[in-house]
Amino acid sequence: MLKQLKIDQFVIIDHSEMGFQDKLTIFTGETGAGKSIILGAMEHILGAEPKTKAIRQGQNQSVFEAKFSPAKENPVWQALIEKQLVTPADTEFTIHRIIEHEGPGSIKLNGKDIDLEFLAQVGEDLIEIHGQHANHSLLGPENQLNLLDRFGNFDQVYYDNVSNALNDVYRLTKELEEEKLFLAKHKGTKGQELAKIYKKFESINMSESYSLEVKEKYDVLMTAKSTVETFQDIMGRFVAANGIISGLSGANNAIQTQSNLDQEKIAELKRHLADSLNSARSAVAEISTIIPEYEIDLSPLTDLKHIISVLNEIAQEAEIEFDGIEEYFKEIDTKVNRIKNGRARLEELNELLAAAKNKYREHAHVLTEQRISAGQKMSEAITSEFVPLMLNKAEFQIEVEESPDVEWTPIGFNQVTFKARMNPGMPFSPISETASGGEMARMILALKVVIQRVQTTSTLVFDEVDVGIGGAAAAAVGDRIGALSDLVQVIVITHSPQVASRGNQHLHISKRTEGDKTISSVRELSEQERIEEISRMLAGGELTDHSFAAAKSLIAEAEQAASSRPAI
């Protein structure tokens, strides 16, 4: 419920602070005193776009603050807990909002910043405002569908099935259009270019990871070839006709044949020459042992060189790095196969899309059947509410039609129309064409009584729901509003003394002029002041003994009705 509302520097309100009781609160006051300003302030607290023109003249900002204490089953608590704006133990919270001529203003919940979108989300669960022209929004097909669904309280699975089926329709429609666009784009020259590139890949038997494997094999063979050639070069240096071994052998023979040299002096030289020859022969023997390990078949090198050459050519033409050739091949392969299988894929997508559309129609029809059933129950419930509202002969009917030819939505393709007839034997017609202003007001009230049984909104606000009615009909409306306040907090702005007499709390709005300023203010009336205000409303101005007595009588009558009325 709404516990408190503070308003500063808004339109003609300088500062106003008001508290609210948990049942029925009545606002009265002369026309132009500022009742609509209170509604405007509430709308700002609930997340309306800032109306900076409504900032009090001469001021830079308007300030609004409201304290709420909704029932624990209200979904607003879960949303606030998830945002860490309240704790599970909290029972109330405060919303503070500032709007400014210049600057973004601010919105805080329990002192923590929130954005306008979240405030609007929270506001939907806190207060529902029905203005003087609530019937205009009620007449909208989308609103009537929404009201029926709120009454039906259908299992979420019905909506999920419809929504998921529609998502499949959208997805397959998009795939089909993309496939058509791709095939159209790759006709003629574009397709021939792809085929030419693909043919080059085919010529080297290109496959996934092929280029990396080829490169690895090529590198291994080139390494082996280089190693073998190195050892062969070394071997050649040792065993050639004029190689190391031949030279060392000649040197050893020469030193051995020199008898005129001092053998003692050349003994160390002879030893070095002999050792060098032996080491050279050992090196040759070792190389002969190692070389076979590196002697592998090098014949694939020619093919590998050709493959790498082709890949380099493709990479150069595509202006990509060699490392990116694999992804490029996948892209070309995918496109070529997509073109090759294009007709078959289009047929497949068309079949899948047709099946998805049928599935959507089936699930949407199931939801239609749920709505028809709920519509019958809701029609009966609202018609039964007409009796206490003195619409004894009126009947209410909810018509649910399937319109598969209109734009499909995630909640089906139903058109819902609220119809009524005011007298038996007359045809049912849309309520906008059926009811007068006063009858419409009572129909809206009947609808709200029925809907409130299945929703968790904390507070309902009615702005002159009694417009166009008086006397017994107004008293009946007052009684039903009083009964509604047994379920939920109700705030009513009214000019009807019959409705005003039903209030548990009575707030009066007035305005005064101080110099060149007009100031509106709100105060709670005492019991005596309440009698005087209702007397004034009855008399239209000057109080009389008769109007005073009539006011007391209305209040007594309201109290009697409240004590004996059954729960709705």
Domain segments of the chain: what residues? 2-153+454-564, 189-340
Nearest CA to 54 out of 12, 13, 11 is that of 11
Please report how many Cα atoms fall inside a 13 Å half-sphere around the Cα of residue 316, on the Cβ side: 6
Q: What is the pLDDT of residue 26?
A: 94
What secondary structure letter does DSSP report for 428?
Answer: P
Determine the 3-state secondary structure of 272 from DSSP: helix
Q: Which regions in the chain score pLDDT beneath 50?
A: none
Q: What is the pLDDT of residue 131?
A: 67
**∠ CA 4-8-10 to the nearest 5 degrees?**
115
184-207 pLDDT, tens digit per residue, is 888 877 778 888 887 888 777 777
Determine the 3-state secondary structure of 136 from DSSP: helix
Kindly report the CATH number that applies to the domain delimited by 2-153+454-564: 3.40.50.300
Q: What is the pLDDT of residue 212?
A: 67
Q: What is the pLDDT of residue 211?
A: 67
What secondary structure letter does DSSP report for 60?
Answer: S
What does each C-alpha distance from 253 to 13, 83, 272, 276 come to in angstroms? 128, 101, 13, 13
Nearest CA to 489 out of 155, 109, 26 is that of 26
| 106-109/112-113 β-pairing | antiparallel
39-63 pLDDT, tens digit per residue, is 999 999 999 999 999 999 889 999 9
